[in-house]
Structure 1
Amino acid sequence: MRYTTTERFTGDFVAALRTGRVDDFKGRFRRADVLLVDDVQFLASKARTEEEFFHTFNALHDAGAQLVLTSDRLPRDLEALEDRLRERFEAGLVCEIARPDHGIRLAVLRKRVQHDDIQLADPRALTVLADRITDNVRALEGALIRVVAYHSLTGRPIDVALANEVLDGLYPESRRPTPGAGNPAGAALTVEHIQDVTCEAFGVTRDDLLSTSRAASVAWPRQVAMYLAREHTTESLPSIGRSFGGRNHTTVMHACKRTSERMASDPEAYETVRALTARLCTVPS
């Protein structure tokens, strides 16, 4: 069995082309009895990679292997993919994965705590996370990581109080924009509104944020704004990238990763993102 993401598949394929090891690449994927590929929607607009994946798909299918693919939309909605590949996706069993229920969310957290040997002062802290983070498992694990990071930075025990405090800042129970922040109360947050609030907070212009500048005074606000857009809107990674000067989804992923890492190691960065989140959102009284 082999698991990969479309991004990793693409990167490995490009590396194989550059080093002349395409046969080795093909062997790794085409000899699998089960292949799991995450985010296949990102194959779009990658002609060489899409063609290679098409042949890999056919080789595995003909060999009787199993393929499990995930996407953020149905096969028929992957309009940027070639018809021949989209048709093969549609020929399989298509299932929608519903949001995990409370029991599953709690089980995921307990498994992660056990795997990472996280010491809980109060196991009810996990119940707080499971109660308040309902969207998906990634968001749930991200919330746990933030609680653990804050525990490491402050030395405070991981208990109900700490879990609630961290979630109040980063995952408010209501995502209504704060009155006076530029959006009508109760309106859904937009990437544009997040950009405006971030620009004001950091003292940069929208042109700076959308520019190609890599100066630290611009790159960090841009990364924070992308992170907030990922956390607090329903926009896809490619859509967020387009809103930031036509960047691709991998740039957005990198920005989110860098922001998370900096928040985990730098209290000032954590407080900056927390304050911006509090400004964008309010918690009901």
Structure 2
Amino acid sequence: MTINHAIVDNFAHRETIHLWETIMGDLRKLLPEHSYQTWFMPIKPVKQNGETLTLSVPNRFYAEWIESNYKELLTRVLENVNPELSSYFFIVEPAPPQELQKEGSIEKTRHITSPAHTEHPPIDERYAHLNHRYTFDTFVEGPHNQFAKAASKAVADALGNTPYNPLLIYGGTGLGKTHLIQSIGNYARQKGGPRNIVYVSSEKFMVDYITALRNNRLSDFTGIYRKADLLLVDDIQFLQNREGTQEQFFHTFNELYQRGKQIVITSDRTPKELQGVEERLVSRFLSGLTVDIQPPNFETRVAILQKKARLEYLEIPDEVIDFIAQNITSNVRELESAMTRIFAYSSLTHLDITVDVAKKVIRDILGVKKSKVISVESIMKTVAAYYRISENDIMGKNRRKEIALARQIIMYLSRDMSGDSLKSIGLRLGRRDHSTVIHACTTIKEKIDQDPSFRSQINALKNQIELQLY
């Protein structure tokens, strides 16, 4: 009997494909979609030989990455699907040219030898997707960000021709780093300056590098990033512990710097705090100018909300803007989000925008109830922060006018809101007599009745304290 080996091999290959499809189905359930698409979709089954499954990958880096990050998971899934499988083996087979056009960004970019025949947009169109709202004019300046804005404007006015190369802007989440870095790009574009403006996050830089490696398209990758006239990279901290990507960024940085091209970077921490970033990169970051952005103060928060209201054509009462600014203090993004939610709530419920409406929305933002008790201590903390006075001064014997007034306000609010007795309030505020508390309450009540501005301050404090219930 003659055995047709071609038929046998074809059957075996179909079995291997079916096995791999089952394995892929299980992997997809266990992995984030972007990880599954990036690392496992390009793998092709080759053959099964006893306990070993042979798989093809586009390049060596690809195999090393899976070995470093997914070895245990892949082995476990293999054994679950087929107990006879205990290992796998990679061979490197570059993807055929027709498959390269099916991928995103880098893979779609062919090596162009003649501009007359290109069907692709120029670099600045594909890689400088800047938000047109992020401009220097719409950026609200305050003491917390004044230096960062001035440095950004100076860089935008003379790209690559200032000592501020690179410019690194750092600060917490939602404080305006992305606004500033994109303002530089928009300003440069409006001036008709550099043609090749590249704006990316460090995560996109890494993904582009990986996909270029996977498809043997490194020349396309370097052609995009190293031909930039202005390179804007957001959130550089995500390069931590990514040695291969750091290597590429280092060489990209050096080439652009040597050619006098401007580099601007943002980070959520100072360069020296970037753990897992090579020392030579940190040294490059520190060679230019490093500026920080701090959380905005109350006056700047009010200005930010007023500007947003004007830009969005929203009618928000001043007392509501003050209330939002007093209670959302962490970052600009949350501040603007709170205003948008208040306006949306008012529109959908057909209610006027009032402090009570704002209070309800902000309670939802801050979360569920934490406590049903307002303590004298929490009132003192709120008042001290509001008037920028230390709690030690309030508890002590300091009789300066502003400290004495703050102490009386705490007594008045404690009697009104805490439920504590006069004696208890006095004892908690530096062992003062209950008659002192009575005098304070009378004084503050009279001032509230006579002074509308002071009455607004007391109402603002009450609103802040009530929010502590949530």
Equivalent runs, 1:220-259 vs 2, <5 Å: none
Alignment-derived partner of residue 120 in structure 1: 315
> Which residue number in structure 1 is paired with residue 468 of structure 2?
283
Matches of 1:27 and 1:124, distance apart in 2? 54
| Secondary structure of the structure 2 residue equivalent to 1:95 | strand
**Residue 177 of structure 1 contacts residue 282 of structure 1 at CA under 8 Å; is this kept in 2?**
no
Following the alignment from structure 1 to structure 2, what is the Cα–Cα distance between the partners of residues 20 and 53? Answer: 18
Q: 2:302 aligns with which of 106, 115, 119?
A: 106
Q: Is the CA contact (8 Å cut-off) linking 1:3 and 1:36 kept in structure 2? A: yes
Structure 2 CA distance for aligned equivalents of residues 34 and 26 of structure 1: 15
Match of 1:144 in 2: 339
Structure 1 Cα separation of the partners of residues 349 and 247 of structure 2: 50
Task: Identify the residue that residue 206 of structure 2 maps to in structure 1.
Answer: 10
Percent same amino acid at aligned positions?
A: 39
CA deviation vs aligned residue, 1:76-125 (integer Å, no higher than 9, x gap) = 1212111211221222222232222334323333443444x353353543
CA contact (8 A) 2:320 2:355 kept: yes
Aligned counterparts of 1:26 and 1:66: Cα–Cα separation in 2: 17
Q: How far does residue 129 in structure 1 lie from its aligned partner after superposition?
A: 2.1
2:351 aligned residue: 156
Distance of aligned partners of 1:34 and 1:144 in 2 relative to their CA distance in 1, 3 Å threshold: farther
Residue of structure 1 equivalent to 2:269 = 73
Q: What's the offset of the Cα at 1:44?
A: 0.8
Determine helix, strand or coil for the equivalent of 1:4: strand
Q: Could you say which structure has the higher strand fraction?
A: 2
Q: Which amino acid aligns with 2:236?
A: V
How do residues 77-88 of structure 1 correspond to structure 2 at under 5 angstroms?
A: 77-88=273-284
1:64 aligned counterpart, secondary structure: coil
Q: C-alpha separation between the residues in 2 aligned to 1:124 and 1:29?
A: 49
Deviations 1:116-140 (A, max 9, x none): x353353543332222222222222
- Asked if the contact 1:120/1:159 (under 8 Å) is kept, the reply is no
What amino acid does structure 2 have at the position aligned with 1:96? Answer: D
Is 2:374 aligned against 1:178?
A: no
Q: 1 CA distance for matches of 2:229 and 2:320?
A: 40
Report the CA distance shift for 1:102/1:53 in structure 2 as closer, same or farther (over 3 A).
same
Amino acid at match of 1:170: I
Quote the offset at 1:20 in angstroms: 5.0
Q: Which has the larger radius of gyration?
A: 2
> 1:48 deviation in Å?
2.5
1:168 shift after superposition: 2.5
What CA deviation, in whole Å up to 9, does each residue of 1:45-84 have, x standing for no partner? 2222222221221122112222222222221121211121
Matched, 1:37 2:222: no
Q: Distance in 2 between matches of 1:144 and 1:12?
A: 37
- Aligned partner of 2:339: which letter? L
Question: When the two structures are aligned, how many residues end up with a matched partner?
Answer: 184
Deviation digits for residues 140-177 of structure 1, max 9, x if unmatched? 233234334434553434443322221123238xx995
Aligned mate of 1:168, from 363, 366, 375: 363
Root-mean-square deviation over aligned CA pairs: 3.5
Check conservation: 2:369, 2:469, Cα contact below 8 A: no
The 1:45/1:162 distance shift into structure 2, 3 A limit, reads same
Cα distance change, pair 66–124 in 1 and its aligned pair in 2 (3 A) = farther
**TM-score, reference length from structure 2:** 0.34
Query: SS of 1:70's equivalent?
Result: strand
- Contact between 1:30 and 1:56, CA under 8 Å: does it hold in 2? yes
* 8 Å CA contact retained: 2:199, 2:233: yes
SS at match of 2:296: coil
Q: Distance in 1 between matches of 2:225 and 2:340?
A: 32
> Residue 250 of structure 1 aligns with which residue?
none
**Deviation (angstroms), 1:284:** 5.8
- Using the alignment, how far apart are the partners of 1:81 and 1:63 within structure 2? 24
Cα deviation code 1:163-200 (max 9, x no counterpart): 2221123238xx995389xxxx98xxxxxxxxxxxxxx
CA contact (8 A) 2:233 2:266 kept: yes
Aligned to 1:46: 242
Output the TM-score relative to the length of structure 1: 0.52
CA distance in 2, matches of 1:70, 1:111: 24
